[in-house]
Amino acid sequence: MQELKNRAIELLENGTVARVLGWKIGENTYDPEPAFFDSVEAMKDFVYNNFCAANLSKYMIEASKLEGKTLVCLKPCDSYSFNQLVSDHRVDREKAYIIGVGCKGKLSIEQIKKSGVKGILSVTDSDPIQVETLYGNKELPYTAGMLSRCFSCKGKEHVVYDELIGESAETSTVDRFDEVRRIEAMTPEEKFAFFQAELSKCIRCNACRNVCPACNCRKCVFDGNKFDSAQKANVDSFEEKMFHIIRAFHVAGRCTDCGECSRVCPQGIPLHLFNRKFIKDINTLYGEYQAGADPEAKGPLTSFTTEDAEPSIVSKGGIV
């Protein structure tokens, strides 16, 4: 952390960058939040610990419009989102000075709470995790606090960076499509019941949309008056039947599977499952494709080859 902070200050001081995009220390170890630092002075609140899960790439949309370069800290998985934003022409690569920061799997206080720990006073971001609670101190293995997305990590390599600071580790232990397969195996009635139960929890806080690096429209179709979609959004069960499904369609082929949607959902809806189903189908129909791996790549859904799957797969009941 210190090395990263020192280097950021050095780059600020020597004028290479005009500001730093990183994380600001919160009240506790476990709640750092994304922040811009535009002076050496401000850098005193800079932090990078194992709770810094937020994907900062989307903040580069606004940063690209500012004067000078912005130093942005990207974890390996965030670098895919950054590349995808570059290929969507929403982020200017030239406006970014990327420090690829090390990541050994990120922790989440929600995950720690889920493991049954109550009355938390403080936690460390160490391995193992030391938790101080109202009922005494506890020690938890690191994986007990790790975000579920980190168990299907895309790997420890950054796909884009100017320099690297810190060690990364691969934390993948499960196949990310296992959950999708479990749902694919359900009957249509079971699937409907499953998603209805999950999506009916939605309060339309728009956190998923706001955090998603693929949801980068200047103006979202759901906010516009062009299609009268605003009034349709008032219909009961809109969230269950339309919002998340339309959103999944809109990000299909551009979603890098960063998992931010599920991480920020206050209702704990596994929103990433929709996106993973799309990714799995894209892989099956058009060959393995990772959005953001190559900013020059023509996405399978926006390119055409004669080897493409024929529409007849739809009439045969789709793919499972």
Partner 1 sequence: MQRIGVFVCHCGSNIAATVDVKKVVEMVLLEPGVVHAEDYQYMCSEAGQAKIGAAIADKKLTGIVVCSCSPRMHEATFRKCAERYGLNPYMVEIANIREHCSWIHKDMQEATEKAVILARAAIAKVNLNAPLQAGESRVTKRALVIGGGIAGIQTALDIADAGYEVDIVEKTPSIGGRMSQLDKTFPTLDCSACILTPKMVDAAGHPNINIYTYSEVEKVSGFVGDFTVDIRKKARSVDATKCTGCGVCQEKCPSKKTPSEFNRGLGNRSAIYTPFAQAIPNVPVIDREACLKFKTGKCGVCEKVCQAGAIDYAQQDEIITEKYGAIVVATGFDTIKLDQYDEYAYNQSKDVITSLELERIMNAAGPTKGHLERLSDGKAPKEIVFVQCVGSRCSDDRGKPYCSKICCMYTAKHAMLIRDKYPDVNVTVFYIDVRTPGKNFDEFYRRAVEEYGVNYIKGQVGKVAPQPDGSLLVQASDLLDNKQIKMKADMVVLATAIEPNQGVRNIATMLTASIDTNNFLTEAHPKLRPVESPTAGVFLSGVCQGPKDIPETVAQAGAAAVKVIGLLAKDKLTTNPCTAKPDELLCNGCGNCAKVCPYGAITYEVRQVNDHGIREDRRLANVNSALCQGCGACTVTCPSGAMDLQGFSNRQLIAEVDAICR
In the range 236-265, which residues lie near partner 1 by CB under 8 A?
Answer: 250-251
The 25-54 site mask, x for binding partner 1 (CB under 8 A), equals ------------------------------
> Which residue bears the tokens 């100017």?
162
Question: Which are the contacts of 258, defined by CB distance < 8 A and separation ≥ 6?
Answer: 55, 77, 78, 80, 81, 149, 213
219 binds partner 1 (CB under 8 A): yes
- Least Cβ distance, residue 316 to partner 1 (angstroms): 13
Query: Which CB sits closer to partner 1, 187 or 225?
Result: 225
Among 42, 109, 120, 220, binds partner 1 (CB under 8 A): 220
Distance CA 103, CA 120 (A): 25
296 binds partner 1 (CB under 8 A): no
Query: Which CB sits closer to partner 1, 189 or 228?
Result: 228
Among 89, 94, 296, 317, binds partner 1 (CB under 8 A): 89
Distance CA 2, CA 165 (A): 10
CB 168 within 8 A of CB 103: yes
Among 78, 88, 260, 281, binds partner 1 (CB under 8 A): 88
Binding segment (CB under 8 A) for partner 1, from list 44-52, 141-149, 174-182, 224-232? 224-232
What is the amino acid identity at position 116?
A: G
303 binds partner 1 (CB under 8 A): yes
The 108-147 site mask, x for binding partner 1 (CB under 8 A), equals ----------------------------------------
CB 36 within 8 A of CB 58: no
Q: Which of 244, 250, 316, 252 is nearest to 281 (CA)?
A: 252
Binding segment (CB under 8 A) for partner 1, from list 30-38, 109-117, 176-184, 301-309? 301-309
Among 81, 216, 256, 275, binds partner 1 (CB under 8 A): 216
Residue 142: exposure state from Cβ atoms within 10 A (0-12, 13-18, ≥19): middle
Distance CA 110, CA 204 (A): 20
Question: Which are the contacts of 150, defined by CB distance < 8 A and separation ≥ 6?
Answer: 105, 106, 171
Task: Point out which residues bind partner 1 (CB under 8 A).
Answer: 65, 87-90, 216-221, 224, 226-228, 250-251, 298-299, 302-304, 306
